[in-house]
């Protein structure tokens, strides 16, 4: 796998770097993004290489997904081999393009199909899941509804919603209802007096500011919140959706057998999420991860 020393050498390489040089694509990316090479090299020098033997301690199931042309960060296949309980999946694309192709969505839908199929098999009645809104989940859901699942036994709760009519383009519930109810799922709109069930799966997105559902940093979400649902006002209001919100609180989201995060390929979100796993900040996602007892899977 790629080590930090390799990146350090590339950041110290002189211009121009010729095509075919191991540093070529890294240098091309740095130039296109206007990255300060000195600052980046100093940052990398502050980071130790990972002790690969420590990967043997990661006992949770892991799915390693990598673009078939992605060679920017060493061998994803070797990483999967070092993890005790990992599967390796390859999708088309490079480090940058693979996250924009439908194949990644199909890989996530495969994971969801297995997880939901197992939950249905273990329970003879209804199961409940909670899912995010936004742009990332709906292409995955469109793939998932075509799978062989008994949707009539699945109740779907939004993580949160904007307080708008369901026919408004900003409504998560309206979009979920239009997609999922035709295949038999029951979509449950959030109300301030709702009593959420224990979920078979909590599927979450995350914002660059570390918010999950509509639990933004300004709302100071409490892992022991006595209310299962709250009406909140993000501050600042997101420009793309300037509405009050209704959201499941942290205890409701934590009451789940499994946790899934999808970050949509954002390097900024990845940095925030990875810092949260190391307890390096107190943003909502970090509070959530510090309090969950469930298996967490993250598609970066």
Give me the CATH number covering residue 192: 3.40.50.1360
The pLDDT of residue 217 is 94
Q: Lowest-confidence range among 50-59, 102-111, 212-221?
A: 50-59
Q: 146 or 52: which carries more pLDDT confidence?
A: 146
Q: Is 230 helix (H, G, I), strand (E, B) or coil?
A: strand
- 33 and 60 housed in the same domain: no
Query: To which residue do tokens 């990146």 refer?
Result: 7
Average pLDDT over residues 89-109: 73
Average of per-residue pLDDT values in the chain = 85
pLDDT category of residue 2 using cuts at 50, 70 and 90: very low
- 134 and 181 housed in the same domain: yes
Return the CA Rg of the chain. Answer: 21
- For 26-64, give one letter per residue: b (16+ CB within 10 A) or e: bbeebeeeeeeeeebeeebeeeeeeeeeebeeeeeebbb
Q: 182 or 298: which carries more pLDDT confidence?
A: 182
pLDDT category of residue 85 using cuts at 50, 70 and 90: confident
Per-residue pLDDT for 81 more than 60?
A: yes
- 106 and 158 housed in the same domain: yes
The pLDDT of residue 65 is 78
Contact criterion met (CB below 8 Å) for 130 and 176 = no
DSSP string, 52-78: GGGGGG--S-EEEEEETT--TTS-HHH
- 209 and 243 housed in the same domain: yes
Query: Into how many domains does the chain fold?
Result: 3
- 35 and 93 housed in the same domain: no
pTM: 0.74
Per-residue pLDDT for 295 more than 90?
A: no
- 72 and 175 housed in the same domain: no
- 94 and 108 housed in the same domain: no
Average pLDDT over residues 57-73: 73
- 161 and 193 housed in the same domain: yes
Domain that holds residue 13: 1-49
Tens-digit pLDDT profile for residues 230-270: 999 988 888 888 999 999 999 999 999 999 999 887 778 88
State which of 39, 66, 98 marks the end of a domain.
98
pLDDT category of residue 86 using cuts at 50, 70 and 90: confident
- 161 and 22 housed in the same domain: no
Tens-digit pLDDT profile for residues 137-184: 898 999 999 999 999 999 999 999 999 999 999 999 999 999 999 999
Q: Rounded CA gap, 205 and 207, in Å?
A: 7
pLDDT category of residue 98 using cuts at 50, 70 and 90: low
Could you give the strand order of the β-sheet that contains 127-131, starting from the edge strand earlier in sequence?
Answer: 186-187, 154-158, 127-131, 201-204, 258-262, 295-299
Contact criterion met (CB below 8 Å) for 149 and 176 = no
Q: Which of 55, 57, 149 is nearest to 111 (CA)?
A: 149
Per-residue pLDDT for 3 more than 50?
A: no
- 11 and 140 housed in the same domain: no
State which of 63, 98, 133 marks the end of a domain.
98
- 21 and 149 housed in the same domain: no
Q: Is 259 helix (H, G, I), strand (E, B) or coil?
A: strand
Show the tokens assigned to 33.
């993004």
Q: Rounded CA gap, 210 and 200, in Å?
A: 24
- 133 and 13 housed in the same domain: no
Extended beta strands in 160-277, E state: 160-162, 186-187, 201-204, 229-232, 245-248, 258-262
pLDDT category of residue 4 using cuts at 50, 70 and 90: very low
Total count of residues recorded for the chain:
300
């Amino acid at each position: 796998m790629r080590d930090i020393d390799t990146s350090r050498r590339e950041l110290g390489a002189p211009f121009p770097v010729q095509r075919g040089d191991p540093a070529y694509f890294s240098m091309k990316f740095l130039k296109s993004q206007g990255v300060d090479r000195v600052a980046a090299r100093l940052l990398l020098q502050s980071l130790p290489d990972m002790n690969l033997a420590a990967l043997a301690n990661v006992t949770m199931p892991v799915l390693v997904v990598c673009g078939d042309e992605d060679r920017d960060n060493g061998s994803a296949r070797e990483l999967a081999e070092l993890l005790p309980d990992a599967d390796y999946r390859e999708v088309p694309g490079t480090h940058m393009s693979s996250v924009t192709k439908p194949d990644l969505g199909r890989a996530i839908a495969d994971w969801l199909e297995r997880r939901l199929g197992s939950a249905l098999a273990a329970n003879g009645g209804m199961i409940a899941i909670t899912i995010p809104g936004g742009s990332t989940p709906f292409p995955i859901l469109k793939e998932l509804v075509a799978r062989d699942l008994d949707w009539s036994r699945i109740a779907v709760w939004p993580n949160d919603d904007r307080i708008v009519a369901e026919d408004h383009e900003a409504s998560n519930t309206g979009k979920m209802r239009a997609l999922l109810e035709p295949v038999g799922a029951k979509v449950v709109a959030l109300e301030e007096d709702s009593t959420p069930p224990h979920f078979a799966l909590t599927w979450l997105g995350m914002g660059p500011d570390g918010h999950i559902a509509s639990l933004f940093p300004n709302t100071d979400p409490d892992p022991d919140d006595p209310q299962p649902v709250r009406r909140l006002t993000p501050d600042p209001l997101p420009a793309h959706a300037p509405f009050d919100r209704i959201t499941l609180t942290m205890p409701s989201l934590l009451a789940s057998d499994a946790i899934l995060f999808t970050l949509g390929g954002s390097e900024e979100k990845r940095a925030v999420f990875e810092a949260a796993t190391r307890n390096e900040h107190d943003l909502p996602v970090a509070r959530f991860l510090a309090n969950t007892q469930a298996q967490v899977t993250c598609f970066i």
